[in-house]
Each structure stands twice: as C-alpha cells, then as structure tokens.
Amino acid sequence: MSDVKVKYTKMSRSRGRNALDEIWKVLVKNNHLLNGKPCCAVCGGQNMVQAHHVIGRSIYAYRWEPVNGVPLCALHHDACVWQSAHHAPWWWLQWLKENKSVTYEWLYQHCWDRPTKTADDFVYDEIYSQMEELHKQQTGVYFKADRCIDYRLSKAYDQILVMLSGDSSIKQIMAATGAGDTALKKFIGKNPELRRLLKARTTKGKK
C-alpha cells in the first residue's frame, strides 16, 4: 500500500455494529435453505427463522463469526422447554454434536477462551468487507455492496492510481474495482492525488 493517507468514509461504531449484525444473520441463514428460503436447521420449518449465536453475542470476539451461528425456528431457538437452544442445553449440545460437527468442534476450541475484545477493537469496514465476500461466494452477489465500497476502493488505491496514470478508462477502473460511477468519482474526489490525475486526463480530453 502506498504511504499516502487514503481518505474514505469510515463506518461508525454503531453503524458498523448494526451492519455486521444484519449481514451475519443473513450469512448464517444462507447456510440452510429450502427452496431458496431459510429454514430451521433442526426441523426444516420456515416460520420465523432466527440466527442463533452458539457462543453468546455479548462476546464480541465471536459475535460475527459465521461458524458461530445456526438458523433455528422460534420453537427450537427459545420457545420449547425440551428442545431449544436456549432452554434445553443438554439437548442442544447433543444435537449440535450430531448435526453440526464443524460448529461443535469450533465451540470446544473456543469456549474456554476469555477474549477481551470490546466493541471498540474492531475495524468494522474490514470485517464487513470480508463478510460481503462470503455473501458473494454464497449467492453470487454482494448483500449491500455500496455499504463498504468506499472501503474497498481505499484498499485498491494503488491500483486506481496506476490505472488513472495509464490509459485505462473510468469504465475499466469501475470493472476492476467493482465500483459504480458515482462511488468511484466520489472516492477520487476525496483523494488529492487521484483528483489531480483525473483532472489532468479531462483536460487532455480523455474520458
């Protein structure tokens, strides 16, 4: 990465936390689809499917780990006293062991940790961006691409610099970075060196 301090609009803590919570649920639910719609991992029910945190969400270190989530219907999440993740831990652990071995193993690797990360210890844009990539792997599209496009552009700063200095068209830069025209131009506008390059091309009559 170049030494230039790249400017982009950073996600605030509260906005970042909400955005991560939202996409985490989607990623977890995407792991169990029935006819294209989320379903309960236990019974296959599609009524009120919720994403359950295996290690509680108040532990920030694992709050946004996709492996830490299982989609469950309201009954198997917390309504049933004999068969729900929240009310019947003996049943839940047995079920997890038999049906979700990856999550079960992960749980036992981490449940004795005492991670001290707090809400302030995260680069929200970075995690959000990784989760967007996972969403794209799952579904072929980004969840809300515009939410972290500015951040992704900041990561691609050097590439944009090289492309703008060379013969690449704005369309080619858009294709290379996945950014729309407006987002790309906004980002360029915020960064003096890129702005200068763009201006130089415009005066030369390049588009």
Q: Which of 27, 51, 54, 73 binds Zn ion (CB under 5 A)?
A: 73
Contact with Zn ion (CB under 5 A): which of 29, 52, 76, 152?
Answer: 76
Which position's Cβ is nearest Zn ion?
40
What is the smallest separation between the CB atom of 163 and Zn ion, expressed in angstroms?
50
Degrees, nearest 5: CA angle 191-193-198: 90
* Interaction between residue 28 and Zn ion (CB under 5 A): no
> Is 96 one of the binding residues for Zn ion (CB under 5 A)?
no
Cβ proximity to Zn ion, 45 vs 178, nearer residue: 45
Rounded to the nearest whole angstrom, what is the least distance from the CB of residue 194 to Zn ion in the complex?
51
CB of 35 to Zn ion, least distance (A): 16
| Selection from 178, 72, 190, 71 nearest residue 132 by Cα | 178
**Residue from 6, 39, 40, 170 that binds Zn ion (CB under 5 A)?**
40
Beta carbon nearer to Zn ion, 96 or 148: 96
Nearer to Zn ion, 16 or 71 (CB): 71
Q: List the one residue from 7, 22, 30, 45 that touches Zn ion (CB under 5 A).
A: 45
Binding segment toward Zn ion, per CB under 5 A, in 32-40, 133-141, 142-150, 172-180: 32-40
Counting Cα atoms < 13 Å in the Cβ hemisphere of 64 gives 25
Footprint of Zn ion on residues 152-191 (CB under 5 A)? Answer: none
**How far, in Å, CA of 187 to CA of 151, rounded?**
9
Q: Does 43 bind Zn ion (CB under 5 A)?
A: yes
Q: Which is nearer to Zn ion, 70 or 160 (CB)?
A: 70
Binding region for Zn ion (CB under 5 A): 40, 42-43, 45, 73, 76
